[in-house]
């Protein structure tokens, strides 16, 4: 028997608009599932009373309502939500309750969606695993001894376990695509400028953006339609969409570049990741796309420049002096690295990173998309990457785990991880496609074509 959580987010939204189910029924259904089934570390705060009240206020959808009106979701614990604890994954902010909401939260509320709470994230969203001091680790529902990835690990675990139908994440070096791969779902990072960073604008480099985590490409596109758009004061923006509509438009015959060599770390690639990439190449070729092998478009010299910028971004987190002792060892190590960078050095690093990005974009200009693995290995055991005793080794472990994703943050290109492969043990292995900057709609069209070609992403984890 089909239950509400078996339906896609768009199917749930259609039921709401037809009056066949109410937003309150949906919210209560998912809140009950969270209470019973959140053994995956998905939520750090559940706002049940507020969610039921918000759902009740959305009982009647306006004529021009978003297709996601009344659909439950959740907000990453890095995103400001007025009146709701927002810990930023850090014990230093364990009692922080913001007075304002950021653009992501406001956009979700304006679309009539109902947030059920805040999803788990590591401290300041920095690591690619979600093991904060303020909550249990986020794990993949396919094997609860293995991490959900990060930094949007709680959001991905919530979607994969059927605790929400879709969720927002953010991605500065792979933080949507990494957990999507670990949890066997779709993770879409849009182009730089598609989603506003208002009002904090905390990333002056332009690496990070909000995006979508969902079980289907069309759901991910519908959420991107909710998030997309600029606000007065944005330093840059990019017009686009509607993205859901693009999923119903064939992409045409595309030129797709591919490479498997790692970008930011000299690391062997697990045979399952290579097999996933090869199988995706064959699938794309069977869809009549032209596949071309290319060299890695970013040089090794870009890596230390990216690391300098990443460390400075960590150092920009304003932590009261009396609470700095609560920070994780990795955060303290990155902060010290960032604070050691002078203003002129930081400016030179940003300029160098932009030149590296320009070189990569020029090399990739002849191609409509780029195919790589998402991760070097399948999901790893909780604690396998983290090393509090040696933060430098921790950071290196992360680079070895995810040697491709950050390249597309540097270039500002849209990128998506698709759940196209599974190990013999039943672990998900994602495959990543990236597109030209601003061509998010075309990338979603291609992703939807791939999803249709494999018969949909219908696998469900234990405990569903």
Task: Select which of 115, 126, 175, 273 is catalytic.
Answer: 175
Read off the tokens for 152.
């949007």
- Give the sign of the dihedral formed by CA 181, CA 183, CA 188, CA 189: negative
- The token duo for 311 is 């460390």
C-alpha 137/C-alpha 391 separation (Å) is: 18
Helix (H/G/I), strand (E/B), else coil: 435: strand
Euclidean distance between CA atoms 76 and 164, whole angstroms: 13
Annotated active-site residue in 90, 107, 115, 151: 151
User: Token pair 């300041």 is at which residue?
Assistant: 124
Respond yes or no: is residue 175 known to be catalytic: yes
Under 8 Å between Cβ of 221 and 194: no
Which tokens hold the place of 267? 């690391």
List strands edge to edge, sheet with 43-46: 43-46, 114-119, 72-76
CA separation for the pair 147, 463 (Å, rounded): 17
Is 14 annotated as catalytic?
Answer: no
Coil/strand/helix, residue 429: strand
Euclidean distance between CA atoms 208 and 172, whole angstroms: 4
Contact 224, 365 (CB under 8 A): no
User: Any idea what the Cα angle at residue 156 is, between residues 241 and 223, rounded to 5°?
Assistant: 20
Three-state secondary structure call for residue 116: strand
User: C-alpha angle 152/100/119, rounded to 5°?
Assistant: 20
Q: Where are the beta strands (DSSP E) in 54-109?
A: 72-76
Enter the tokens of residue 112. Answer: 């009539």
- For residue 401, give the nearest of 177, 203, 209, 190 by alpha carbon: 177
Show the CA angle centred on residue 56, arms to residues 51 and 58, nearest 5°. 95
- Known catalytic membership, residue 286: no
CA distance 138 to 116: 17
Reduced to 3 states (helix: H, G, I; strand: E, B; else coil), residue 338 is helix
Residues serving a catalytic function are 76, 151, 175
């Amino acid at each position: 028997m089909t239950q509400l959580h078996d339906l896609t987010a768009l199917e749930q939204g259609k039921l709401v608009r037809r009056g066949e189910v109410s937003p309150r029924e949906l919210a209560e259904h998912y809140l009950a599932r969270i209470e019973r089934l959140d053994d995956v570390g998905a939520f750090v705060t559940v706002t049940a009373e507020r969610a039921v009240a918000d759902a009740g206020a959305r009982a009647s959808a306006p004529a021009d309502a978003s297709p996601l009106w009344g659909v439950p979701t959740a907000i990453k614990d890095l995103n400001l939500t007025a009146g709701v604890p927002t810990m930023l994954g850090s014990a230093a902010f364990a009692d922080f309750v913001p007075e304002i909401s950021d653009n992501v939260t406001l956009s979700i509320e304006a679309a009539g969606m109902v947030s059920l709470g805040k999803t788990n994230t590591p401290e300041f969203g920095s690591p690619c695993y979600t093991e904060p001091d303020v909550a249990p680790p986020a794990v993949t529902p396919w094997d609860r001894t293995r991490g959900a990835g990060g930094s949007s690990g709680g959001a991905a675990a919530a979607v994969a376990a059927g605790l929400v139908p879709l969720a927002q994440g953010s991605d500065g070096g792979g933080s949507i695509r990494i957990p999507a791969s670990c949890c066997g779902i779709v993770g879409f990072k849009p182009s730089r400028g598609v989603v506003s960073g208002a009002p904090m604008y905390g990333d002056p480099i332009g690496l990070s953006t909000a995006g979508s985590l969902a079980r289907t490409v069309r759901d991910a596109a519908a959420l991107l339609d909710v998030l997309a758009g600029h606000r007065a004061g944005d330093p840059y923006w990019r017009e686009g969409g509607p993205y859901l509509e693009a999923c119903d438009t064939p992409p045409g015959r595309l030129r797709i570049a591919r490479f498997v060599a790692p970008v930011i770390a000299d690391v062997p690639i697990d045979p399952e990741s290579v097999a996933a990439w090869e199988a995706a190449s064959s699938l794309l070729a069977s869809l009549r796309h032209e596949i071309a092998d290319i060299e890695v478009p970013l040089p090794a010299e870009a890596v230390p420049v990216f690391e300098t910028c990443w460390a400075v971004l960590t150092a920009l987190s304003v932590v009261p002096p009396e609470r700095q002792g609560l920070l994780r060892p990795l955060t303290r190590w990155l902060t010290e690295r960032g604070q050691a960078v002078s203003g002129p050095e930081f400016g030179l690093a940003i300029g160098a990173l932009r030149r590296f990005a320009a070189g990569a974009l020029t090399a990739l200009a002849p191609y409509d998309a780029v195919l790589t693995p998402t991760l070097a290995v399948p999901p790893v055991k909780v604690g396998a990457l983290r090393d509090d005793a040696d933060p430098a080794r921790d950071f290196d472990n992360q680079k070895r785990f995810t040697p491709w994703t950050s390249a597309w943050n540097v270039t500002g290109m849209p990128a998506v991880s698709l759940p196209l492969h599974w190990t013999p043990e039943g672990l998900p292995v994602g495959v990543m496609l990236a597109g030209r900057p601003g061509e998010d709609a075309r990338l979603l069209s291609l992703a939807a074509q791939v999803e249709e070609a494999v018969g949909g992403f219908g696998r469900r984890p234990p405990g569903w």
